[in-house]
Structure 1
Amino acid sequence: MRHSGGIEMTDHIAGLRISHVVQPIARPVSDAKVATGRQVPLAAVDMVFAEITDEDGTTGTGFTYTLRAGGTALQALAEEIAPMVIGARGADVQRIWEMLGWRTNSLGACGAAFHVLAAFDTALWDLKARRAKLPLAQLLGSFRDGVRVYNSGGQYLQASIDEMSQAARDSVARGIGGIKMKVGQPDWREDIRRIEAVRDAIGPDVALMIDANQQWSRAEALAFCRRVDGMGLEFIEEPLDARDHAGHGALAAQLVTPVATGEMLASYDEHAALIAAGGARVLQADCPRIGGVTPMLRVMELARSQRVALAPHFVMEQHLPLVAAFPTEGWVEHFDWLEPLFNERLEIRDGRMWVPDRPGFGLTMSDTAREHTKRSVTLRDSPEGGD
């Protein structure tokens, strides 16, 4: 128990646990990068969880993730810097982010370092909201109780038209409000056939998005996007290399359909460069990839000031309260891949995902998460404490 000015302080961090969890995907999925031989099918998601406990016994849970490679490296780096967090005040979230950011600065202000920072940062925000007995969305200043939700899981390139169409119908029947499908086939005509089939399956009133996963050159992107520009799509995602900001800006200026991108960017500065180039009318920032809630709030303010829409990539578990706290309507992306790792489920109905009324993110790790843990390390404060 610390004391400050005669007041007992119980929010200092007394312990934490870092866990590397590997969650398999029931059916491996393929996008355009797999179709062209640049990637292998995605079969699992590597997660690093941080569970941070203060002196009062309150625990905040956060996580980060990586796809296909890097989980062991993220766990090792998290273990290396974790002792810095012990003894710090849990409420000093931004201060701790800066402290960890400078410790990992030699790795670059992005990439693996920011992935690891995200695990600690999201756990600290969860802890802060739990201490306040508020859902994170309310702590941040919520604008709405439910966020529009679209599904991406059933419309990958390995799925046949029949499989894809049925998955889309099932999602709509469940209450999901939009469907996103993968494109980028070697023959663009096949992409058009698949788009038309999904549109027929879901009807004219459900939002439809397409995702090329950085597949095309500038010329190819312009040709394809012009072909689909009159099809009423909600957005066209990643038509170009993720860091071709100028190319995305030039393409977006020639289309009626909004261009969406940003999921692969790994810092505030990269998002600022993308927006300055006019490369995204829909920003798909990824909270774990840019370092957690702390930098995500800065990106959200940038998007707000430039009148850019928000539709974060993946991890609906973290993005739901953030989009609920964004002034204008956005989207969250539904994947059920991570659901087994949590005891709770997020409610979907009427085209929206609803913010839970539980404190923090409203999620706790399940027995399945413990079973899928490859390595876990626990640290504790010394009995004497000390700042």
Structure 2
Amino acid sequence: MNDQPTITCADDDRIAWLRLRSVALPLANPISDAKVLTGRQKPMTEIAILIAEIETRDGHQGLGFSYSKRAGGAGQFAHALEVAPNLIGENPSDIARLWDKLCWAGASVGRSGLATQAIGAFDVALWDLKARRAGLSLARLLGAQRDSVRCYNTSGGFLHTPLDQLLKNTDSSREKGIGGIKLKVGQPDWALDLHRVSSVRKHLGETFPLMVDANQQWDRPSARRMCRRLETFDLIWIEEPLDCYDAEGHAELVRQFDTPIATGEMLTSPAEHWEFIRQGAADFLMPDAPRVGGITPYLRIQTLAEQAGMTLAPHFAMELHVHLAASHTREPWVEHFEWLEPLFEERLEIRAGRMLVPNRPGLGLSLSERVAGWTVQQAEVGQRA
């Protein structure tokens, strides 16, 4: 006689409707980093945001987003709209399977880059929906290790910022409770970089966490020279000292210098990250969930990196990454950028150098009314319940 209880599953909900928006989010001031000063890019004046809203037959909702800087926003929207019908009628719980389905629907244009960044907005929305339906924050759904994460500010340290204003920005960040400061470096005149870093280190004191970011603008000899000169400042890390695909060069720097090396934000797939993990080419790996195609591929990268003993410091999009960082085994850093704040009604809390993980269901985000005014194009697929 079998006394085991019969287990039934009532999870037969289906995706009924979705809406896509392409949003041009303006920045308060044009932004310049080393890529601008070397003539490779123009100052950034806006960010292209791809927003996905998903609703199921039973009325459950999810909100997700991806983004692109300087170019690619229209392409992301077009690709997302083209593959979106593949979601209608699907069970929203099957997130990994749906990621694969969307990826293969557009596989002829690649399984990384713009193609997967477009479906990343859907992936984030599906995870948000799943957590909301469970009544849990995304961090709790994933399995949180902590209720807050270390955070550092980048937006106040760009190269277009005069030194006196840069010092004021560091004071402002510290007053807000932010726990670290990152400066952009990589100018054609390396002496200017060293002067700015030296001035900020003196201003902050010897022990306050300080990072620098060269945005891929050094070749190997220049990187070795600058890493050697920067050793004296006791930095948390030196970020992107080389081209983002130069795993071998980054690995050499990791082995040669005491100051940790960080990279990974420009990589757009687990496969690209695996090459850096395999070669031990970073002390801090910096995946960006929207850039790699959403939360599903991000979690694959996280597992590989943690198995290899690497610490993660996810790039940008703090509203999303604060949840993912809470699930890391090793204590992470999250990047504080206020640029996306106008998109949402909610704000993240920061105390004593740490960013608090929201406890609202899902991502804990709702769209601001201002999004409508920044919307460049939008489309709906399916029928609302």
The alignment's TM-score, normalised by the length of structure 1, stands at 0.96
Match of 2:23 in 1: 21
Cα separation, 1, equivalents of 2:13 and 2:179? 40
Match of 1:42 in 2: 44
One-letter amino acid of the counterpart of residue 105, structure 1: A
Q: Does 1:201 align with 2:203?
A: yes
Cα separation, 2, equivalents of 1:349 and 1:323? 17
The correspondence for 1:247, drawn from 246, 249, 252, is 249
* 1:149-168 alignment runs, 5 A limit: 149-168=151-170
Runs of 4+ in 1 over 6 A off after TM superposition: none
Cα separation, 2, equivalents of 1:382 and 1:370? 20
The correspondence for 1:92, drawn from 91, 94, 116, is 94
- Shift in Å at residue 278 of structure 1? 1.6
Deviations 1:59-89 (A, max 9, x none): 1000000000111111111111111111100
One-letter amino acid of the counterpart of residue 158, structure 1: H
Match of 1:122 in 2: 124
Summarize the Cα distance change of 1:382–1:124 in structure 2 as closer, same or farther, 3 Å threshold. closer
Q: What secondary structure does 1:110 align onto?
A: coil
Summarize the Cα distance change of 1:141–1:382 in structure 2 as closer, same or farther, 3 Å threshold. closer
Deviations 1:85-144 (A, max 9, x none): 111001110110010011111111101111011100000000000000000000000000
Q: What secondary structure does 1:294 align onto?
A: helix
- Shift in Å at residue 200 of structure 1? 2.2
234-243 or 369-378: which moved more? 369-378
Cα separation, 1, equivalents of 2:240 and 2:274? 17
Match of 2:317 in 1: 315
**1:172–1:202 contact (8 Å) kept in structure 2:** no
- Shift in Å at residue 382 of structure 1? 8.8
Deviations 1:179-199 (A, max 9, x none): 000001122111111001111
Match of 1:51 in 2: 53
Cα separation, 2, equivalents of 1:77 and 1:173? 42
One-letter amino acid of the counterpart of residue 254, structure 1: Q
Match of 1:106 in 2: 108
* 1:282-361 alignment runs, 5 A limit: 282-361=284-363
**1:86–1:381 contact (8 Å) kept in structure 2:** no
Match of 1:271 in 2: 273
**1:87–1:381 contact (8 Å) kept in structure 2:** no
**2:55–2:384 contact (8 Å) kept in structure 1:** no
Cα separation, 2, equivalents of 1:172 and 1:382? 46
Cα separation, 2, equivalents of 1:231 and 1:56? 56
Match of 1:185 in 2: 187
Deviations 1:272-314 (A, max 9, x none): 0011122111000010111100010010001110010110111
User: Number of residues paired by the alignment?
Assistant: 379
Q: What secondary structure does 2:245 align onto?
A: coil
**2:139–2:323 contact (8 Å) kept in structure 1:** yes
6-15 or 204-213: which moved more? 6-15
- Shift in Å at residue 7 of structure 1? 6.4
Cα separation, 2, equivalents of 1:150 and 1:7? 44
Q: What secondary structure does 1:224 align onto?
A: helix
**1:21–1:375 contact (8 Å) kept in structure 2:** yes
Cα separation, 1, equivalents of 2:179 and 2:367? 28
Unaligned runs of at least 5 residues, structure 1: none
One-letter amino acid of the counterpart of residue 366, structure 2: T
Cα separation, 2, equivalents of 1:110 and 1:373? 26
Cα separation, 1, equivalents of 2:10 and 2:324? 32
- Shift in Å at residue 380 of structure 1? 2.0
Q: What secondary structure does 1:356 align onto?
A: coil
- Shift in Å at residue 14 of structure 1? 1.2
Cα separation, 1, equivalents of 2:280 and 2:229? 21
Summarize the Cα distance change of 1:355–1:6 in structure 2 as closer, same or farther, 3 Å threshold. closer
One-letter amino acid of the counterpart of residue 329, structure 2: P
**2:217–2:241 contact (8 Å) kept in structure 1:** yes
Unaligned runs of at least 5 residues, structure 2: 1-6
Cα separation, 1, equivalents of 2:11 and 2:261? 48
One-letter amino acid of the counterpart of residue 189, structure 1: A
Q: What secondary structure does 1:229 align onto?
A: helix
Cα separation, 2, equivalents of 1:12 and 1:198? 54
Cα separation, 1, equivalents of 2:346 and 2:16? 26
Q: What secondary structure does 1:167 align onto?
A: helix
**1:10–1:54 contact (8 Å) kept in structure 2:** no
Match of 1:82 in 2: 84
The alignment's TM-score, normalised by the length of structure 2, stands at 0.96
Summarize the Cα distance change of 1:124–1:14 in structure 2 as closer, same or farther, 3 Å threshold. same
One-letter amino acid of the counterpart of residue 297, structure 2: P
